[in-house]
Amino acid sequence: MLVISRRQGESVWIGDQIKVVVCTMRGKRVSLGIAAPRDVSVVRDELRQSDLEKALAASGLTGRQDLEITQSDLLR
């Protein structure tokens, strides 16, 4: 993982098509703006984790090994 510092108004590019901008900073909260092509999914981590847990519950998988296989399959 790359960790960098940015100030409000500064940005970072991911590849040639995704731009992440620090919009506002208030205390410990940071608002980010993300400009990406429409075919690139941008989802908060907690929503992605929730979707993964729902998919696992629906599939009936229970073990840690099942979880690892399912995560790699879902990320393809």
Average pLDDT over residues 15-35: 96
- Spatial CB neighbours of 46, under 8 Å, sequence gap ≥ 6: none
Question: Tens digit of pLDDT for each residue in 28-51?
Answer: 999 999 999 999 989 888 888 887
Q: Sorting pLDDT into bands at 50, 70 and 90, what band is 22?
A: very high
The answer to whether 20 and 33 are in contact (CB under 8 A) is yes
**Per-residue model confidence (pLDDT) at position 10:** 97
Q: For the whole model, what pTM was predicted? A: 0.63
Which of 1, 2, 34, 36 lies closest to 17 in space, CA to CA? 36
Are 67 and 61 in contact, with CB atoms under 8 Å apart?
A: yes
Higher-pLDDT residue of 68, 54? 54
SS3 content of the chain, % helix, strand, coil (to 5): 35, 25, 40
